[in-house]
């Protein structure tokens, strides 16, 4: 009887271990300097801050920062297949388009690039969330409205969550924006993590549910 109980306990532990491994979820952040942490160390970014928090509450979720400063939607599209192959993510948060807007890129091309990224990810069963992106007010209301509409259309077309632009609530706080008026400071990263946490947690949990 003792040997039987010991074997049963071992089998139970193995089963729990297998379930634990199977439940692991990886979430890739595919972004530009706002997520890469322009002027900051990797450990200062909101992505690293969120990962530290989740290590305690949600240890089964891994966040991978695949963001590059200066990246555009075209750049993200070009490297997406490599990111997917390398990290095999269950979910992707796309935070791209800001540099496209600042450089005045053709909006139809921006929309096509975002669409292609989402299609490519969804074809592999990856859950996607898209960040809304806004350009500075000096670009004018007409362009700003057309630019924002791109993200609304793409999110609606592919039925992905459109996450509100996380910089919106920060720009009026001088402690949260670098001298260039665009990039968040180290002090702002915790606030960004606070803002994005519920959206990205929902994305990760949806991906986990989809994989079961």
Q: Give residues with Cβ within 8 angstroms of 69, minimum separation 6.
A: 32, 33, 36, 38
Q: What is the pLDDT of residue 210?
A: 85
Task: Give the integer Cα–Cα distance in Å for 109 and 91.
Answer: 24
Q: Give residues with Cβ within 8 angstroms of 6, minimum separation 6.
A: none
Residue 103 sits at φ, ψ, to 5 deg, of: -95, 0
Q: What is the pLDDT of residue 1?
A: 55
Which of 34-48, 143-157, 165-179 bottoms out in mean pLDDT, i.e. has the lowest? 165-179
180 is catalytic: yes
Spatial contact of 135 and 110, defined as CB atoms under 8 Å apart: no
Task: Give the integer Cα–Cα distance in Å for 50 and 61.
Answer: 11
Annotated domain spans of the chain: 24-211
In this predicted structure, the answer to whether residue 74 has a pLDDT above a threshold of 90 is: yes
In this predicted structure, the answer to whether residue 195 has a pLDDT above a threshold of 60 is: yes
Element (H, E) at 13: helix 2-22
Task: Give the integer Cα–Cα distance in Å for 133 and 31.
Answer: 11
Q: Give residues with Cβ within 8 angstroms of 2, minimum separation 6.
A: none
Q: Looking at 32, 90, 100, 183, which residue is catalytic?
A: 183
Mean pLDDT of the region 133-137: 93
**24-211 belongs to which homologous superfamily?**
SGNH hydrolase (3.40.50.1110)
Highest mean pLDDT among 13-17, 162-166, 169-173: 162-166
Task: Give the integer Cα–Cα distance in Å for 210 and 212.
Answer: 6
Q: What is the pLDDT of residue 15?
A: 41
- DSSP code, position 165: P
Q: Looking at 26, 32, 33, 35, which residue is catalytic?
A: 33
DSSP 127-138: EEEEE-----GG
Mean pLDDT of the region 24-39: 97
Spatial contact of 31 and 67, defined as CB atoms under 8 Å apart: yes
In this predicted structure, the answer to whether residue 11 has a pLDDT above a threshold of 50 is: no
Better pLDDT: 191 or 8 = 191
Mean pLDDT of the region 179-196: 96
In this predicted structure, the answer to whether residue 3 has a pLDDT above a threshold of 80 is: no
In this predicted structure, the answer to whether residue 4 has a pLDDT above a threshold of 80 is: no
Q: Which two tokens stand for residue 190?
A: 């915790």
Q: How confident is the model at residue 179 (pLDDT cuts 50, 70, 90)?
A: very high
Ramachandran region of residue 61, left (φ > 0), alpha (ψ -120 to 50) or beta? beta
Which residue do the tokens 């490297």 mark?
Answer: 79
69 is catalytic: no
33 is catalytic: yes
């Amino acid at each position: 009887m003792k040997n039987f109980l010991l074997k049963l306990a071992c089998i139970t532990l193995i089963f729990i271990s297998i379930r634990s491994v199977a439940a692991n979820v990886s979430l890739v952040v595919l972004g530009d300097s706002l997520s890469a942490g322009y002027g900051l160390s990797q450990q200062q970014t909101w992505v690293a801050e969120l990962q530290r928090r989740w290590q305690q509450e949600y240890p089964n979720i891994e966040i991978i920062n695949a963001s590059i400063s200066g990246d555009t939607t075209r750049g993200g599209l070009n490297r997406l297949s490599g990111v997917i192959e390398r990290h095999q993510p269950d979910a992707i948060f796309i935070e791209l388009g800001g540099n496209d807007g600042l450089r005045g890129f053709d909006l139809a091309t921006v929309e096509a690039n975002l669409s292609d990224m989402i299609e490519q990810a969804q074809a592999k069963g990856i859950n996607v969330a898209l960040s809304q992106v806004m350009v500075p007010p000096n670009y004018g209301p007409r362009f700003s409205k057309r630019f924002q509409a791109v993200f609304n259309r793409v999110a609606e077309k592919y039925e992905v969550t459109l996450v509100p632009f996380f910089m919106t609530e920060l720009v009026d706080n001088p402690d949260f924006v670098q001298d260039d008026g665009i990039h968040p400071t180290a002090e702002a990263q915790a606030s960004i993590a606070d803002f994005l946490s519920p959206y990205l947690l929902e994305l990760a949990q949806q991906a986990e549910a989809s994989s079961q």
